[in-house]
Every structure is written in structure tokens, then in C-alpha cells.
């Protein structure tokens, strides 16, 4: 996230401010409109720097832009015991000053060169993103290197970001959707890092110190944990130099804490968290299939038919279109490094949530027993293969998609094989996958609201 303080904006001369704003708008428009080429025609090269750092490159000089995406193995599951929220805290601090530049000066420099830099975390990975004009690439990479290797973590910035994070937690407590999601993982993975919210709690966020932030950075930001993708106006030789310049000073090896493999609890859970709101939000789910499981793609297509295909999905048809019980219902597979879950969500008025969940449970049981039709499969194949190219229509999208493939270790040729894998699936393949993970008796259901006919248990 790019944040510029009010004080910094007030000090900037009006002309410079207008130029920076105009440049940022141009950068955003060009990134949005810059088409590369169809996914199946992309030339993805594996580049190794003189220092031994590897990256994937899609080179295009159509527009003078570079999108850089990278990830370090080690997300919120690496938060220290009793310090939940450290990884999330770090994502908000890396552009808050680095090297000799305090927060305002650092963000002024980013804005002056129309550089976009942001960070995010998942349970298993810590992500970074940079977008820059070619003419400003050297300056942008210097700022990125400082952010990764010499973040200041100044006390005033730490306290300001802490207040923002605490405000987010306060909002989360009032949001049925967010509270339901947090509670679901707590119920599914008790005592495991996956059961702890990446955002932490008010108690843990209040205890996080500058020392905790720096310790996380030193343990996680390392070359053996690093995955990098570059897309845009840069050649192999220049990318090799860039990799060493930006990441070369990082430690060779990270110091990650081991994370145990785990499965969500089985046997079924219903947990109702009372909140005085007119509409209840529910998260439902169970164990899924991991990304490299041979039946994962069948499960992926099956989920598109069940709840991932928008208005064409079975759950949407049964819950919304036929009965008008909810505005939206959806589901998705969420493979993790040490587990996998199949999750869904529905929100509706308190009087309708129990019936909605009953229908969802019934449809899952029916599909697990009977499978899906050939027509369902043909429609899903047509959509999933036909729409795949839309994920690769800008530099930024290409970089994000390729980084996901790299992080999941699917291979540099995954894009070439993906659609053929889907086309080869049969109804029997989907039925086999359904039998493996669709077990309504294992559903973990968390409802937040004042649902009728569902007794509160929390």
C-alpha cells in the first residue's frame, strides 16, 4: 500500500504535486491497457542472475513498464507464539521509511517517480509487488532494496500503523463476514498456526515491538525462500543485474519455524456467534485437496459447477434463483502448504439462513452421491478454458498469475498444459474427486448474526 502523509503533501510544491499525480494516472492507465499476448503464446524464460538468484521473465517492450512480483516462503504461520499479527504488521511497515529516508521522505520519493510498491501476506507466503516506468526503474529498485534490507521501523511510524491495525480489528469485530471467517479457521485448526488470524488480536497487536518486526524480516526474507517474476520492458541481462542489486544482500537461508501438516477437524461443527444484525453471515467448509493432488483439477472444475461459477453454479441456482433465499452464495478450494480446505459463504436475513444452509448441505450430499451431468461438465470446460486468457491481459496480471504458478511449484510449462488437463477430465473424474472431499457430515459451519432456528453456541 502506498500512503503519503498529510504533512508530506502539504510541503510538496503544487507544480511537483500535479506532475506526480499526472504521472501516476498515466502509469495506472498504461498498466491497465497494456496487452502482452495470449497466454498460450507467452515466451516465459527462466533467468538466473550472476549471483545465482532465479526468476521467470516475460519480456515485452510494447510499453516502457515493468511489473515485478515476488514472494518469500513464510507468511503469518511464522508469527511467533503470542505475537499473532507480526507478518501483517510488517506488510504495512516496509514503505514507512528505510535507510536514511524517514516515512514521509520515502513515500515522497515513491510518488515523485510514480512507483507503486505494496506488500501482503498469506498463511504461507509473504508477497511483494512493484510497478514502475522503465525510465525510473533504477530509482524504484533502490527504494525496493532499502525496504527489504534496511526498513527503519521508526517508533512513531510503528505506533501510527498500530493504531490503524487496531482500528481494523475493531471493524472486524463488527463485520459478520470477517468475524465468521476468523472463527471458522479457529474451529477448523485449533492449536495450529492456521487457526490464528493473520491480523492477530487487540492483545497481540498491542504487544508487537520494533524488535519483533525486525526479527520476522531477518528470519523470512532470504534468498532460499524467494520466488520472483518480472514482466515488461527488461531483458535477461538487465533482469539478472536487477535481481542481484535488489535481493543479493539478503541472507542465503531463512530461519523458518517448522509448520506441521494438519487436516481440519472432522465430525461436523456448528458454531453460532450472536451479533445484533438483521442479516446472518455463514462460512461453511471442510477439508479439500492439496494443489499437487492428482485429483485437484477435477475438484477445481467440480467446484466451478457447485459454487464457483457465479449465476450458473448449482448453489446459486438452488439458493437464490429458485428460492430467493440469499443474494449470493459461493464456494472455492483453498489449498495451503500444510493443509487444504473447501470453503463457501452465504449471507441472508436471519429468518432464512437455516434453510439456506440446509439446502447447501443437501446439494453437497447429492453431488457426492450422484456426481454432475455431462452438460454441467461441458459448460464448465468451455468457460474455464475460454476465460483463462483473460488472466493474462496486462503486465500486472501476468506477473501475478506466474508468481502463483511458481509458488505452487506447478512448473514453467503449466500455462501450456492447463487447458488440456481440463479438457481431458470426465464425469467419472469429477465423481472420484467428489467422493474424496465432499462429506457434508464433516461440514464446519460458523454463523454470525441472530439466526432463527440455529441455537447460539458461542
Residue at 157 is within a domain: yes
User: CB count, 10 Å around CB of 415?
Assistant: 23
Tell me, what's the pLDDT at 165?
98
119 and 65 share one domain: yes
Above pLDDT 70, what percent of the chain? Answer: 90
220 and 283 share one domain: no
Based on the structure, what is the number of domains in the chain? 2
Residue at 262 is within a domain: no
Write down the mean pLDDT value for the chain. 92
395 and 354 share one domain: yes
The domain boundary, picked from 184, 216, 247, lies at: 247
Tell me, what's the pLDDT at 267?
95
238 and 290 share one domain: no
pLDDT for residue 13 is more than 80: no
pLDDT tens by residue, 287-311: 999 999 999 999 999 999 999 999 9
Give the mean model confidence (pLDDT) for residues 375-403.
96
| Residue the block writes with cell 514502475 | 132
- Tell me which of 22-31, 214-223, 330-339 is least confident: 22-31
CATH number, domain containing residue 22: 3.30.830.10
226 and 281 share one domain: no
Compute the distance between CA of residue 436 and CA of residue 287 in angstroms, rounded to an integer: 10
pLDDT tens by residue, 43-93: 999 999 999 999 999 999 889 999 999 999 999 999 999 999 999 999 999
How is 153-210 classified by DSSP, letter by letter?
Answer: --HHHHHHHHHHHHHHHHHHHH-HHHHHHHHHHHHHSTTSGGGS-TT--HHHHHH--H
Give the mean model confidence (pLDDT) for residues 396-415.
97
Helices (H), 348-394: 353-370, 374-386
Residue at 241 is within a domain: yes
Tell me, what's the pLDDT at 419?
97
209 and 275 share one domain: no
Residues paired with 132 in a beta bridge: 66
- Work out whether the CA dihedral 184, 189, 190, 196 comes out positive or negative: negative
pLDDT for residue 418 is more than 80: yes
Cell of 278: 438483521
Tell me, what's the pLDDT at 5?
34
Residue at 258 is within a domain: no
pLDDT tens by residue, 131-155: 999 999 999 999 999 999 999 999 9
Tell me, what's the pLDDT at 34?
44
44 and 161 share one domain: yes
More confident residue, 277 or 30: 277
Give the mean model confidence (pLDDT) for residues 87-111.
98
173 and 93 share one domain: yes
316 and 202 share one domain: no
Tell me, what's the pLDDT at 456?
58
Give the mean model confidence (pLDDT) for residues 406-420.
97
Tell me, what's the pLDDT at 41?
63
The domain boundary, picked from 196, 216, 247, lies at: 247
Tell me, what's the pLDDT at 42?
87
Residue at 139 is within a domain: yes
Residue at 257 is within a domain: no
Give the mean model confidence (pLDDT) for residues 104-113.
98
Tell me, what's the pLDDT at 3?
37
The domain boundary, picked from 184, 212, 247, lies at: 247
Tell me the three state secondary structure of residue 356: helix
51 and 117 share one domain: yes
pLDDT for residue 15 is more than 50: no
Residue at 254 is within a domain: no
Place 40 in a pLDDT band, splitting at 50, 70 and 90. low
What is the domain range of residue 312?
269-449
Compute the distance between CA of residue 226 and CA of residue 157 in angstroms, rounded to an integer: 27
pLDDT for residue 457 is more than 80: no
User: CB count, 10 Å around CB of 420?
Assistant: 9
240 and 364 share one domain: no
- Tell me which of 37-41, 64-68, 421-425, 426-430 is least confident: 37-41
What predicted TM-score, i.e. pTM, was given to this entire model?
0.90
231 and 276 share one domain: no
Give the mean model confidence (pLDDT) for residues 226-255.
98
pLDDT for residue 458 is more than 50: no
Label the pairing between strands 444-449 and 269-274: parallel
Residue at 380 is within a domain: yes
Amino acid at each position: 500500500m502506498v500512503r503519503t502523509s498529510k504533512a508530506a503533501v502539504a510541503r510538496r510544491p503544487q507544480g511537483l504535486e500535479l506532475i506526480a499525480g499526472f504521472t501516476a494516472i498515466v502509469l495506472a492507465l498504461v498498466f491497465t491497457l497494456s496487452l502482452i499476448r495470449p497466454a498460450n503464446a507467452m515466451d516465459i524464460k527462466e533467468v538466473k542472475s550472476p549471483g545465482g538468484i532465479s526468476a521467470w521473465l516475460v519480456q515485452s517492450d510494447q510499453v516502457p513498464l515493468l511489473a515485478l512480483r515476488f514472494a518469500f516462503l513464510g507468511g503469518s504461520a511464522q508469527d511467533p507464539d503470542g505475537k499473532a499479527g507480526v507478518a501483517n504488521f510488517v506488510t504495512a511497515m516496509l514503505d514507512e521509511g528505510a535507510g536514511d529516508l524517514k516515512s514521509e521522505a520515502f513515500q515522497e520519493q515513491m510518488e515523485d517517480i510514480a512507483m507503486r510498491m505494496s506488500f501482503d501476506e498469506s498463511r504461507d507466503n509473504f508477497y511483494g509487488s512493484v510497478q514502475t516506468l522503465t525510465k525510473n526503474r533504477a530509482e524504484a529498485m533502490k527504494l525496493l532494496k532499502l525496504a527489504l534490507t534496511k526498513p527503519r521501523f521508526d517508533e512513531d511510524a510503528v505506533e501510527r500503523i498500530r493504531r490503524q491495525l487496531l482500528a481494523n480489528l475493531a471493524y472486524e469485530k463488527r463485520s459478520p463476514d470477517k468475524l465468521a471467517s476468523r472463527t471458522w479457521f479457529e474451529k477448523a485448526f485449533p492449536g495450529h498456526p492456521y487457526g490464528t488470524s493473520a491480523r492477530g488480536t487487540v492483545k497481540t497487536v498491542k504487544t508487537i515491538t520494533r524488535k519483533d518486526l525486525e526479527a520476522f524480516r531477518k528470519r523470512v526474507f532470504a534468498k532460499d525462500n524467494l520466488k520472483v517474476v518480472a514482466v515488461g520492458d527488461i531483458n535477461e541481462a538487465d533482469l539478472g543485474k536487477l535481481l542481484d542489486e535488489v535481493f543479493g544482500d539478503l541472507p542465503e537461508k531463512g530461519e523458518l519455524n517448522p509448520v506441521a501438516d494438519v487436516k481440519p477437524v472432522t465430525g461436523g461443527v456448528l458454531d453460532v456467534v450472536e451479533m445484533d444484525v438483521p442479516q446472518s453471515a455463514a462460512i461453511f467448509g471442510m477439508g479439500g485437496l492439496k494443489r499437487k493432488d492428482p485429483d485437484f483439477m477435477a475438484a477445481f472444475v467440480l467446484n466451478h459447477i457447485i459454487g464457483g461459477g457465479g449465476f450458473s453454479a448449482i448453489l446459486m441456482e438452488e439458493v437464490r434463483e429458485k428460492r430467493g433465499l440469499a443474494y449470493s452464495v459461493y464456494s472455492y478450494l483453498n489449498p495451503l502448504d500444510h493443509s487444504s480446505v473447501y470453503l463457501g459463504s452465504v449471507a441472508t436475513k436471519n429468518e432464512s439462513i437455516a434453510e439456506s444452509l440446509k439446502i447447501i448441505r443437501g446439494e453437497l450430499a447429492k453431488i457426492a452421491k450422484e456426481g454432475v451431468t455431462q452438460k454441467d461438465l461441458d459448460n464448465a470446460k468451455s468457460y474455464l478454458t475460454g476465460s483463462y486468457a483473460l488472466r493474462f491481459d496486462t503486465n500486472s496480471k501476468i506477473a501475478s498469475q506466474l508468481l502463483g504458478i511458481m509458488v505452487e511449484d506447478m512448473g514453467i510449462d503449466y500455462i501450456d498444459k492447463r487447458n488440456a488437463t481440463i479438457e481431458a477430465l470426465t464425469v467419472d473424474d469429477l465423481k472420484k474427486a467428489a467422493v474424496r472431499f465432499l462429506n457434508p457430515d464433516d461440514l464446519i459451519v460458523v454463523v454470525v448474526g441472530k439466526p432463527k432456528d440455529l441455537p447460539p453456541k458461542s
